[in-house]
Amino acid sequence: MGWMADETGLDKTQANYVPLTPLSGLRRAAHVFADELAVVYGRHRKSYAEHYDRCTRLASALASMGVRPGDVVATILPNIPAQVEAHFGVPACGAVLNAINTRLDLGTVAYIFDHGGAKVALVDTQFIDQAEAACARMEGKPPILIEVPDAEAGFPATGRHATYEQVLGNAPHDFGWIMPEDEWESIALNYTSGTTGRPKGVVYHHRGAYLNAMGQVISWGMVLRPRYMTIVPLFHCNGWCHAWMMPMVGGTVICCREIAAKPMFDLIADEGVTHFGGAPIVLNMLVNAPEAERREFSQRVEVFTAGAPPAPATLAKIEPMGFHVTQVYGLTEVYGPATECTWGPHLDHLEGAARASIKARQGVAMPFMEHITVMDDAMRQIPMDGQAQGQIVMRGNGVMKGYYKNPEATREAFQGGYFHTGDIAVQHPDGYIQIADRAKDIIISGGENISSVEVEGVLMGHPDVLLAAVVARPDEKWGEVPCAFVELKPGSETGEADLIAFARETLAGFKAPKSVVFGELPKTSTGKIQKFALRETAKSL
């Protein structure tokens, strides 16, 4: 197919074929934008030449510590320069970056260290105690810990480990980057939120990371030299690939460690932020900020939001403030955003509720995805009538390689030649996809997925609990929070505070229930708990 009659000499050579990788973007930017700002964080202001040098030193240091191509290097870091540098320095020595969620509980971090087999871990001082405790719990060989202090944020070095700056300072800067020989080589390992049992390790390749980063430039209508504020955690789908995107367009990454209204407004005003991504909770923070925390700014700020549709009331308030919001949708398995609610002149006349109802759609495939649609259980296209429901499925270069050390789960996810998202949606006549119901048992709190089944399992482990069901309760700040409904054993005296404290012993804080309602649970004739009834009750709390 598509071969000419005589293709003699028309082969792939070094001259006409190079494996796609986001590493190429920074190598180019180090020359093209050498003296322009690459990364900003308080007094840390590095040009592209300096940023490239620091990433090279990191690669050099890791290689000298015995990290070989294909090895895993973990990070437990907030959105600070070291995390941006790890996105280039780790793959530049041929290794695979495993950026770990800073909000996870001890047991899960130990599991990820073990399952991923990290050789080295870069850890912010805020999380160093937890990392040490996770290492002590491991079955395998623990990673070497490199401490990343942040004295200005109140986290000075403990003195127990080599620090990041010491490691970079001692490393040669003439290290030759190890570029992928095959674009299918792995660049990152990201663990899912673990909505069903243990988290799964999602593997990204260089090709997908490159195309996702480059494709979002188109979706975002981005011109050269954007100023991007890191609100999406860089451990979450590698910050939606945005750290890899910035060198391609000579952009500046403006690090934001504390996600709160005041620091965000300050960076928007003082650093001229033009773009950021975040869950609807972030939009709510900006909309509800007291007058004293707000700042005036003149530029239009482009926002990608995902995790749940922003409430129409939020959209109505935030757009006049100078923010232009685009809803995107994706999963860890597809490098972050994969669909966008593309806006066009034909929609410009819409206002208020009509405008918000379109903006709440998950939209259409981004340019680097081949086909995204909604199918029924027999893999047939559903009617595009905004009523019929099916599962969102995807195929294209922005889909993961698969789940690490889990061929069964990979096969299941890729049945029929598409990645199955597990998300239930309708499709409108114009092809725009809209989620009807996340796989019902999943609670999305501040952009993080929480399995109600996992929380129920923990509560059921309390000696006084007879039955527990957990559903989402709407929350102004987090979007949704877990709400537990509990039937106690006869004669038990356990209260709400006791159960929440019990849950927090095993669960990450954001997964623990925020409220507990005691009483008999509504059940079907076959004894199934009627969660739809509990959801209604939770809404009225």
Q: Among 476, 478, 496, 477, which residue's Cα sits nearest to residue 486?
A: 496
- Residues 146, 121 contacting (CB under 8 angstroms): yes
pLDDT of residue 506: 86
Tokens of 264: 């965000």
Residue the block writes with tokens 């070094």: 14
DSSP 371-392: EEEEE-TTS-BPPSSSS--EEE
- Residues 187, 96 contacting (CB under 8 angstroms): yes
Q: What share of the chain is helix, strand, coil (3-state, %, to 5)?
A: 35, 25, 40
The pair phi, psi for residue 431, each rounded to 5°, is 90, -10
Strand ranges for 88-143 from DSSP E: 96-99, 118-124
Looking at 326-471, list the stretches that DSSP marks H as alpha helix, in order from N- to C-terminal side. 352-359, 407-413, 452-459
Q: Mapping DSSP to helix (H, G, I), strand (E, B) and coil, where does residue 340 land?
A: strand
The pair phi, psi for residue 167, each rounded to 5°, is -65, -45
| DSSP state at residue 93 | T
Question: For residue 415, how far is the Cα from the chain centroid?
Answer: 24
195-222 pLDDT, tens per residue?
Answer: 556 899 999 999 999 999 999 999 999 9
Cα gap 332→192, rounded to integer Å: 6
Q: How many C-beta atoms surround the C-beta of residue 515 within 10 A? A: 15
**Structural domains present in the chain:** 443-540 (3.30.300.30)
| Residue ranges, the chain, pLDDT below 50 | 525-526
Cα gap 256→263, rounded to integer Å: 7
Rg (CA), the chain: 24
Q: How many C-beta atoms surround the C-beta of residue 133 within 10 A? A: 13
pLDDT of residue 528: 62
pLDDT of residue 531: 85
